[in-house]
């Protein structure tokens, strides 16, 4: 439907009209077509060049043409502080939600955002938040930008047509898109849509280092697609009143609060741009999966698509991980994910199909296993994987993903009390037997270490 440039974190130049970009330099005295030069900085001016992100836009009118912002109600979108007094609490329990119901009334992408959990403070540019969205109405004469961080959007139901200042992105299920801090966007939909959003308050998403994997594999840089310049036709406002001229609603998420204003004409008026700070999309089916070909189930970090690096080397503020179709050929190995306790927190979602570690995890649902909370396969999965014939097997029954973070997430009390929360999730592990067989096997008795200690009079 749309054309794209490709190459992760590349320097692009694109123009919707011929010769709309200055032939050299960034802000000439007079720009081609009498456009206005405007820079958008995604990093501080003086960060190292290899990390510096900025884009020069050439617009029919600059972004300053808007009325003063006023604070508005954020609905189910909340960004802290993530405290008990503000409707959040921590929980060490295993948590799971069934799919968030599709909207029964008219909702846009912005009004349909619901915060599930978060930690940190966007005003200090630290931490992250996890949201879900449901929507069924396009944003008409309405746009948004996020001053607090980057959005990583994961559709589960319905295709999003994301119009941004820098061009269009079509984002169906099995794709993701990233909208960096400050980029103005609107979302058009047809019918009911549902999905997940990871918001990071500090830094930007990068490709993970490959280490001994080498120079290729996982998400390849060439498969990330960036928009080409496109702009709305500028409306003639001569003879109109100020109220008629300021006919667009602009929403700004700023410091954890929502603000709104009216602006003069469309914000999608960028005729040309160049730079390396831009929204992008990625097709998850192009992920080059790495797996064991001898024995053992590797750590899930081998499925990392994007990472937002933290302050400590090797520890992420957030990782985006998928569990794609893949061959399972490991010998003498329990092939599903093993039982686990993790210093990180794991929020999981299901894009389609079923998860290979347990039953009841539905597409459009979610789960949260926080720091050091035990989790793993249910007994039916464990028993089946322990007894099955270990022949080469292709898992092609679903696509799950994980937002993994080094922080303990505060959970919205609304999410904990939601009707679609599976309050019996913990019961999926009930019935796991103690199948331990000591030295005397099934006969029981004083077999094993306890029996040996009794014989030797060791211990109480």
- Tell me which residues are annotated as active site: 297
Residue 196 contacts residue 131 (beta carbons within 8 Å)? yes
- Residue 393 known to bind ligand: no
Give the C-alpha separation, 295 to 303, whole Å: 17
- Residue 346 known to bind ligand: yes
- Residue 443 known to bind ligand: no
Give the C-alpha separation, 165 to 273, whole Å: 10
Residue 192 contacts residue 134 (beta carbons within 8 Å)? yes
- Residue 274 known to bind ligand: no
Residue 265 contacts residue 67 (beta carbons within 8 Å)? no
Per-residue CA distances from 87 to 80, 90, 95, 160 (Å): 9, 11, 17, 30
Could you list the beta-strand ranges (E) of 354-416: 366-369, 393-395, 398-405, 410-412
Could you list the beta-strand ranges (E) of 136-247: 142-146, 150-157, 160-164, 167-171, 175-179, 185-188, 193-200, 224-227
Q: Is the dihedral of CA 368, 371, 373, 375 positive or negative?
A: positive
DSSP-based three-state secondary structure for 39: strand
- CA triplet 426, 430, 435: central angle to 5 degrees? 140
| Residue ranges at the known binding site for Fe cation | 340, 375
| Residue ranges at the known binding site | 340, 346, 355, 375
| Residue ranges at the known binding site for homogentisate | 346, 355, 375
């Amino acid at each position: 439907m749309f054309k794209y440039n490709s190459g992760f974190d590349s320097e692009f130049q694109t123009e919707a009209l011929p010769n709309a970009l200055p032939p050299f330099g960034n802000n000439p005295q007079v720009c081609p077509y009498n456009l206005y030069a405007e820079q958008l900085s995604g990093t501080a001016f003086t960060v190292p060049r290899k990390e510096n992100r900025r884009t020069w836009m050439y617009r029919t009118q600059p972004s300053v043409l808007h009325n003063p912002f006023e604070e508005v109600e954020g609905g189910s979108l909340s960004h802290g502080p993530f405290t008990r007094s503000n409707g959040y609490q921590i929980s060490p329990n295993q948590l799971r939600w069934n799919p968030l119901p599709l909207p029964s009334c008219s909702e846009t992408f912005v009004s349909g955002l619901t915060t599930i959990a978060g930690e940190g403070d966007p005003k200090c540019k630290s931490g992250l938040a996890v949201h879900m969205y449901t929507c069924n109405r396009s944003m008409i004469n309405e746009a948004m930008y996020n001053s607090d961080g980057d959005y990583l959007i994961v559709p589960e139901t319905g295709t999003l047509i994301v119009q941004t200042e820098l061009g269009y992105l079509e984002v169906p299920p099995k794709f993701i898109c990233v909208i960096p801090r400050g980029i103005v966007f609107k979302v058009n939909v047809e019918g009911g849509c549902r999905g997940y959003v990871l918001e990071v308050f500090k830094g930007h998403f990068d490709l993970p280092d490959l280490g001994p994997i080498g120079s290729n594999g996982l998400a390849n840089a060439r498969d990330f697609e960036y928009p080409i310049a496109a702009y709305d036709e500028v409306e003639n406002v001569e003879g109109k009143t100020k109220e008629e001229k300021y006919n667009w609603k602009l929403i700004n998420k700023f410091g954890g609060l929502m603000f709104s204003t009216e602006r003069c004409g469309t914000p999608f008026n960028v005729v040309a741009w160049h730079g390396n700070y831009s929204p992008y999309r990625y097709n998850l089916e192009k992920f080059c999966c790495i797996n064991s070909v001898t024995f053992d189930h590797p750590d899930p970090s081998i499925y990392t698509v994007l990472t937002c690096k933290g302050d400590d080397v090797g520890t992420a503020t957030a990782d985006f991980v998928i569990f794609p179709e893949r061959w399972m050929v490991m010998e003498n190995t329990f092939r599903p994910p093993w039982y686990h306790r993790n210093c990180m927190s794991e929020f999981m979602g299901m894009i389609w199909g079923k998860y290979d570690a347990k039953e009841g995890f539905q597409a459009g649902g979610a789960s949260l296993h926080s720091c050091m909370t035990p989790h793993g396969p249910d007994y039916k999965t464990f028993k089946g994987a322990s007894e099955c014939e270990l022949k080469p097997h292709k898992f092609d029954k679903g696509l799950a993903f994980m937002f993994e973070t080094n922080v303990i997430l505060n959970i919205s009390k609304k999410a904990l009390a939601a009707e679609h929360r599976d309050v019996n999730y913990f019961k999926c592990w009930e019935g796991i037997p103690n199948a331990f067989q000591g030295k005397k096997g099934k006969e029981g008795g004083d077999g094993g270490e306890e029996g040996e200690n009794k014989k030797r009079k060791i211990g109480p």
